[in-house]
Structure 1
């Protein structure tokens, strides 16, 4: 019995070691668990902090989105109010200037952008002669963009209707280095003409730019020309401008011509012509586009010998191109011609070619060598034949008239013939290589 008790005691010693080992492992495990728990708690605290920060940022962004949405709503409301205001102004202005018993000859629109001082000068010139015929020629100003000075100036006139073209679409030029102004101008022209022909339902529109003054008989001239436009569909438009209208090259305020070259700078067209042009209107350089044969399709333009407009715009999109040489010396008519008493039937297509051929046949032919000197020593009208474009440019340079061509047509030309005064009243005819044939002139 004593031996068994001793053996049991010996067994307690390893059991004690095992117990101590187990306790140490338990302590180690508990320590590791406690450390991991602490790390987990720290990670949870960090995640909670990051989550709160993210929630705060999202809340701030949501507040900003709400504020932007409210701002957009306010802007939309303001735009709607402004649009309503503009429409009301247009309606009120039209009611003021159009006598419902009088069918307008044409709407007159002044194309403006950001030159308030130029616009003021142009409007003053137009109102000087338009006021007495306001019911025949309702006056509009169409502004491209939002220059506040131009808008304020335009709205200060009770005699006209204000239109505003706002275009936020980006401009992509066809070639690097091009001025985007020419693209914006083309967009503005299309918008304004669409408005006048399709919204306001005018049959004819006269287009002026914001750097022009007009002659005393400007409106009478266009009223007389309107009858020709309606009668003769071979006339595409009527212009008040002569590219070779410098004071040294003009004489007769009654003289009118047909031309294959679009003059622009104060011109009138009909809704039927605009119906054709509007769907294919170009992205830029609209005036040169109209000079392409594929667009005027053999139709011609009426122009005066003495300009009925004067372009004072030295500063503009064209950077004053040609101003000193060609625009500043322009002679604007100062004679009040009674156009109602004039018989303009000679300008219709079936009569004009013969009329022009008759005056051309009477001109004395001279060779092209030193033509300006020879012309100075000859009495009466003269004609000089040129061989090609380079020959024309050489002769034109001798006299100082425009040398430029577009799509095979010299400026102001009719059937290739350019006419101007030289030591007035003498006329000089620069005649193309096949002009006489086109006009049916033989053995001249």
Structure 2
């Protein structure tokens, strides 16, 4: 009998982590453009978060950073790392695959008529620095979920239809191992900022996964939210089992969405954070909703794994303290320090891809244990660059050091075939 649980796969923050300000519409990324980044500190913060989740009794996995700089991508553009324009070079170095929420969209086996867990790799075509991620990500997905009796891994939706993966997808269900409804959140406009998730891509993924109309809801992200810096839905809303936790201004037609949810899942509990208690600006800057909303084992209720920035915002922390003091499903707040990721625009939810599956059928090399995380931390401590400025990206010695660091990580994790 298959034992389905939720596994969070975090992207290990790569040795090329830097602040080049590549993500249009991402306030943190733009604000910190040109600042010094600390790849070693960033990766160790991510590893500490994974240790924290293991300590909570949660299943934890990880993905390898992609090969950077992406010389093959630059070659297709007719240039090299040394000769390319600064914005292309920065795009080739980007460590943005660390945000595994954008790796793919997942439909667990209970939702799919064929009984397989479906994964469609995201094309990320709206942003140049992310548009070349999907081949490397697809290679990892095919390796980690190679058991064809339990997983179906799909190629990306073709351009020009932008697909940003699980960051614009939520699932509500009585429990992780039960059939649920999947909410695909798309954008139409965000003022000066692009709407990254296209309705055509969302519909295509739902069709590829074989989801029936009774399993799917399509909802438009609020234009005001995108314009305020909520470049993905997971910056203003998060779901777990039967709970939806969202800002009042997250969706363009919120009442229609909430009615559709209640019609399909009457036991759903919808927690709406009022704008007069937490402003949209405070929600986005603190990444209140870019949290991991998780179910704790042994009937421990639900917990929010939050960035420490949420605790530093008075309005946000006051609201959250009142929330967990009540009799609702969210009972625990767990702040974590991932400041290096946050400074580039990614919170706890950005760093992880949720997959409901039986761990026995996942390639075990991608599943975390304390011992594995210890080994990864040693590699990071010994080989990740301590600091990178964007103007260093033309330095051949830095390029060599980044490649060597990733090679060492692949070796210690037994995943050297990803370097082919």
- TM-score, normalising length: structure 2: 0.26
Larger RCO, structure (CA 8 Å, separation 6 or more): 2
The structure with the greater share of residues assigned to helix is 1
